[in-house]
Structure 1
Amino acid sequence: MTDLYSTPHRRFPAPSLRVAASPGIDEAEATVVLALRPDATPAVCQEAIAAARRENAGLRAIVFDTDTTTAPSTSPLAECTRLGAALAEAGLEYEVQRVESDLAEQVLDLATQHAALLIVMAAKRRSPVVKLLLGSSAQQVILEAECPVLLVK
């Protein structure tokens, strides 16, 4: 007998999170993960590119709008495409993903899946009270990451 209530049925396949990628990213031996807000300073992207070059690694980026654990973190595809063009111009192997529902989980999964050497994140200054009430994806990544995390403002 088929259980129609507890098993979700997908009528359409889930869309890929990958928005842009270089042809050789899946063969990259090392990885740097970048979590980037569109309103972050250029220093965030520059630090990630410098780390990828220093380690001779591919750069896997996730573009997000917010870093609270309570708000949905959506990002416009245009920002993802723009970052992909900048990484291609930098001459790196790269992948740019749109964010799913949980930024911290996605960053940690990406870092674990590709044995990341470093995670670079855009950080936003918040008061301790706001962090307590809303939470922070950056805090969760720092606590659970198995590799170094560099927060750039």
Structure 2
Amino acid sequence: MTDFYSAPQHRFPVPSLRVAASDGIDDAQNTIILAYRSESSAALLEQAIAGARRENAAVRVVHFESDTTTAPSAGALSQTKELADRLAEADLEFEVQRADSDVASQIIDLAEEWQAKLIVMPSKRRSPVVKLLLGSSTQRVILEAECPVLIVK
């Protein structure tokens, strides 16, 4: 008789969210987390690069289009390449991940896993009703992260 209630014997690997990375990213000692929304300002990336240089850190990016993005679009893929090129030009170790279904949890988990020195996030205006109904990834990261969080317009 088949047992439908026990855990399956095989474990399938979790798919990687990494879409771009520099060669030395896995050896980096310090980390800055950058939450990069598709329409983010140039100042956001500049602040992340400045923070990474100040802390002698690698930059681990979570690239997303909205708080609930689950699949990359063609535009997001070209933006990922541009973002990776900018980080490579800045001579930083980096990793770019596509967003998982819960952006805030992904950012917080990365920060904890790599003991991040700083999280850099974009600000976005939202009406109180939208915040109430959808929540706010930025607000959740600010409240739950154990490292400093820099919000950039």
| Structure 1 length-normalised TM | 0.88
Counterpart for residue 152 of structure 2: 152
Higher alpha-carbon deviation: 86-95 or 124-133? 124-133
Counterpart for residue 38 of structure 1: 38
Higher alpha-carbon deviation: 9-18 or 54-63? 9-18
Specify every segment of 5 or more residues in structure 2 that has no aligned partner in the other structure, as ranges. Answer: none
Identity of aligned residues (%): 59
The one-letter code sitting in structure 2 at the alignment partner of 1:147 is C
Task: Tell whether the 8 Å contact from 2:18 to 2:98 is kept in structure 1 after alignment.
Answer: yes
Q: Identify which of 36, 57, 69 aligns with 1:72.
A: 69
Separation in structure 2 between the aligned mates of residue 62 and residue 90 of structure 1, nearest angstrom: 18
1:88-132, CA deviations, whole angstroms, 9 ceiling, x for partnerless residues?
A: 011001000011110000000100000000000111111222211
SS of residue in 2 equivalent to 1:151 = strand
Specify every segment of 5 or more residues in structure 1 that has no aligned partner in the other structure, as ranges. Answer: none
Q: 1:52 to 1:132 in 2, by over 3 A?
A: same
Separation in structure 2 between the aligned mates of residue 3 and residue 79 of structure 1, nearest angstrom: 47
Q: 1:12 to 1:81 in 2, by over 3 A?
A: farther
Residue 105 (structure 1) aligned with residue 105 (structure 2):
yes
Counterpart for residue 55 of structure 1: 55
Deviation at 1:15, TM superposition (A): 2.8
Task: Tell whether the 8 Å contact from 1:77 to 1:98 is kept in structure 2 after alignment.
Answer: no
Q: Please report the RMSD computed on the Cα atoms of aligned residues, expressed in angstroms.
A: 2.1
